Structure 1
Amino acid sequence: MKHILALVTLALLSVTTYAHNPNAEPPTKKMKATTSVQHIVLFKFKPETTPEKLKEIVAAFEALPSKIKEIKDLKWGLNNSPEDHAHGLTHAFILTFDSVKDRDAYLPHPAHKAFGTIVGPWIADLTVVDFANQGK
């Protein structure tokens, strides 16, 4: 019982020490630099793009990981930001690659090129940004 009481006391002291010391640094999770690459694609579609066409485009994008082994992950969603900075971009896709080499293999891949022929006629604007975590 004394051991438990001592542990609880130490835990409370460490919490209150941080809470009452305005100069104390909050605990942070260290981020490590990585070789993986995030490939972010943002689309603005032409006004005449129908909901059916958008479903076809999204389905074609979602199929890419099954056709291109270098894609390690795919996430996508619709813009829902309350800030007015999207410039009409509505759909966001994030592809993850293990390396720049894998990303570079994806770009000319026939399945990626075929997707471009599906989506290309419907794009009003497009933004692409790639990055690797720089870490601390």
Structure 2
Amino acid sequence: MEEAKGVVKHIVLAKFKDDTTPDKIEQLIKAYANLVNLIQPMKAFQWGKDVSIENLHQGFTHVFESIFETTEGIAEYDAHPAHLEFANLFLASADKIVIVNYKPTVVRC
């Protein structure tokens, strides 16, 4: 096994408040995706909705993944004014979130 070079993943699991409309969620996702155009250390963004059959999602419905080259890049992203503005909007609509940053380990078979 080897640590993937130059990659740090930032994962956000979210459950939105019951009164958050689908349109509002769509607006938040578009704003989140646009951060990759505004914050240089953010290299990529993707998202999806939970489709698991295990029913272990604990109410989390959405997964957001951003890719950075360094943990310092995540720190720069966290402090960036565009992220801070977005985070305030996102958190106002979120019932609960979990955030995990990790460096992937590649397993070669």
2:2 aligned partner:
32
**Amino-acid identity (%):** 31
Instruction: Within 5 Å, give how 1:29-68 maps onto structure 2.
Output: 31-33=1-3, 34-68=5-39
Root mean square deviation, CA, Å: 1.3
Q: For 1:68-98, what per-residue CA distance to the aligned partner results, in whole angstroms no more than 9, with x for missing partners? A: 0101111101111111111111110110000
Asked if the contact 1:35–1:100 (Cα under 8 Å) also holds between the matched residues in 2, the reply is: no
Aligned to 2:23, the other structure's residue is in SS state helix
Alignment of 1:1-136 (within 5 A): 31-33=1-3, 34-135=5-106
Shift of 1:135: 4.2
* Local SS of the residue matching 1:62: helix
Instruction: Give the Cα–Cα distance (whole angstroms) in 1 for the partners of residues 104 and 13 of structure 2.
Output: 19
Is the Cα–Cα contact under 8 Å of residues 35 and 133 in structure 1 kept in the other structure?
no
Query: Quick check: 1:78–1:92 contact (8 Å CA) kept in 2?
Result: yes
Compare CA radii of gyration and give the structure with the larger one.
1
Q: What TM-score does the superposition give when structure 1 sets the normalisation length?
A: 0.73
Q: Which of 1 and 2 has higher RCO (CA within 8 Å, sep 6+)?
A: 2
Alpha-carbon offset, residue 121 of structure 1: 1.2
The structure richer in helix per residue is: 1
More strand by share: 2
Displacement, 1:37? Answer: 0.6
